[in-house]
Amino acid sequence: MTRMARMLLVAVAALSISKIAHSDQATAVDTKADKAVLAAVVSLQCEGKGRGRVLLSSKPLAPDAMHEGHPDGVTSDQSAGLRSRTEATVALPKDIECPRVRVVPYAKLKAAFDRPAKHPMEFPVPAGVRIPIGANTGFTDTFPGIGVLLRLSMPVYSETKDTAVVYFSEDCGGLCAHGEYVQLERVKDRWRVVRRIEAWTS
């Protein structure tokens, strides 16, 4: 091997190492921002008290075509980026919950929905009877006292990384469900919610 070829190989190796280090650093920054943004969205649930405790699925969820809506202020690029990031992510970051919100592994949540209820409801239900989350599944048997099932997408960021958008859906049983987009902005290394946009309701 000539001296020139060896120098070229060394230069390529150094460039590759530099790219890997830069990628790892960028990933660390993204992870820190994701955690802060999602914790700010979860904090919206921490303020409410009327509907009981909240269960948050560990698996992120993007809106499907039926629930995406056409929210004013959320671009098609943001929606596409949000879906892409969410579909490529296995689990939400850790430590984003608050005392009212508990994260549950997706496998445990799925198993609860796949099991039949110990005491199934008969339909139609009388007026005034509340239909629980996952009626006639094992959800209530597995998670008693839960008033809201929350699902979050991963955030999508502006090019300047100082604004973000997150989608979330709430299920509180029966026809009590809705989805929202949340817009956030970064102010002095803290993320705060600046706008909530309803995507759908039932």
For residue 8, what are the domain limits? Answer: 3-201
Q: What is the pLDDT of residue 20?
A: 36
Q: E strands, the chain, where?
A: 53-57, 101-104, 146-152, 156-157, 163-171, 177-187, 190-201
Q: What is the pLDDT of residue 1?
A: 58
Nearest to 88 by CA among 125, 59, 58: 59
pLDDT digits (tens, 9 = 90+) for 37-51: 999 999 999 876 666
Q: What is the pLDDT of residue 2?
A: 65
Q: Please list the ranges in the chain whose pLDDT falls under 70.
A: 1-29, 48-51
pLDDT digits (tens, 9 = 90+) for 85-103: 999 999 999 999 998 999 9
Distance between CA atoms of residues 183 and 23, nearest Å: 26
Distance between CA atoms of residues 101 and 132, nearest Å: 18
**Structural domains in the chain (count):** 1
